[in-house]
Structure 1
Amino acid sequence: MSQQLEPQLPLNQLEEIIQWDENGLVPAIVQDASTKDVLMLAYMNRESLKKSLETGETWFWSRSRSELWHKGATSGNTQQIASLRYDCDGDTLLVEAYRQGPACHTGEDNCFYRVAALSKDRAAGTGSTANGEGSSRFAVLAELEQLIAERHKERPEGAYTTYLFDKGIDKILKKVGEETAESIIAAKNGDNDELRYEVSDLIYHLLVLLRERNLPLDDIMQELERRHERPRRD
């Protein structure tokens, strides 16, 4: 079910800020709100922007068919908008969305699955971040979050994650409590192998809980960043 958007300014003001091209269009980049993967690029006009804001799902203008189109109207692969931003020049929109299924009409997760070039470090798997740590250090968390999101939508029979979602919030909270207690016991026992196993279970169940509550892991990371930036009192 779509979630109503909370506008930060009236639609008429937003329309004045946006730098529409000669055809009355503006490019809209769609980004996965959970993983931050870029999913697709489409175009909006005033009417599709209005419908996107009103419905909480993405609407675009098809340049090839010269008509409005609601993403996922026929395929079911809709995109629930988490936020809609415009850049410093007002000539590009950024839509963060929770996707239901693939974003690309080919069935691929996103429209940018064809690789044209990679840096030598990236191709060799040795790419690094600014602080020298591997850029893929926490990639497994994003992958796990995406997998849990897919389980939440598709509910494949026999999957443990499906079982948790079907049982609901009370069952998920019970498992979080159990894994927390088991992590505490493992730490008290001084057994790091056991602790590693139990904390992994705890993290997984916490991600299931976040998905059940529709709270992206990225929001948690941003909260940690905000706390890190606060002046220390010690």
Structure 2
Amino acid sequence: MTIKTYLNFFVFLLFLLTSKTLAFAQSEEDVDGEVTQQIWLDMYPHLVLGEKWHYIGDFGFRKIVDENSWAQLFMRPAIKYQYSDILSFQISMSVAYDWSRLNEDHLLITPRQGVRIDWPSFGPLNFYHLLRLEERISYKVSDWSHTVDLIGRYKIFGDYTFKLNERGRFWFISFYAEVFHNPNKKVEFNKNKFRTGIGLGYDPSNDWKYIFMLNWQGSQTSEDQTQISDMIFQLKIYKTLRKWSKYLN
């Protein structure tokens, strides 16, 4: 199989996932007509612990652009084991606090396990795959009752790197599509269905990296199964604490 065939296959796969999620979003929006705008800020400190071990966690803030609506603070420490050039394994523990003036506050604790494959690569164009399993424990702060959900996630993503001029710093286009599977039909709050996005990144050095993403997300509410579409404006900041940026996640 030639490189061109591989490239066409993965572009088609990404297009298929993105088209499916956007089509789903459009159809549900036509039915329910509920769309929100969100702002996300994510910071990714990266520390090389050894030749194969890396700390890749993140922390940040998310909010719906409405003073009476949902907001979240979160921290997700994570460890990655780089088994080979293209295969790595991840474990993490997410802790998040959701609050809203209109609904119950929640504390979420989510252990995660993941497998990542960095393949294929065509010069400046790279593709990656991330398969994750999550065990989300949601505590209702008012009485500390809780629910447990098992969530599967698959994400295909990639980047295309370029320079604006010969001496300039690297820029890159970042893109992805992700699907979620939660077999539990009764959840405490919104259940994600899909997420897709595209963005522009800037890499001024081996220590810092900045990405601005425009994301589209589809979710389902817990009370009446209403479908919600979210337009998300996201700023991602990466900081490498040792100069080994090839393993930035």
TM-based fold match above 0.5: no
Q: TM-score, normalised by structure 1?
A: 0.18
Q: TM-score, normalised by structure 2?
A: 0.17
Of Structure 1 and Structure 2, which has the larger fraction of its residues in helix? Answer: 1
Of Structure 1 and Structure 2, which has the larger fraction of its residues in strand? Answer: 2
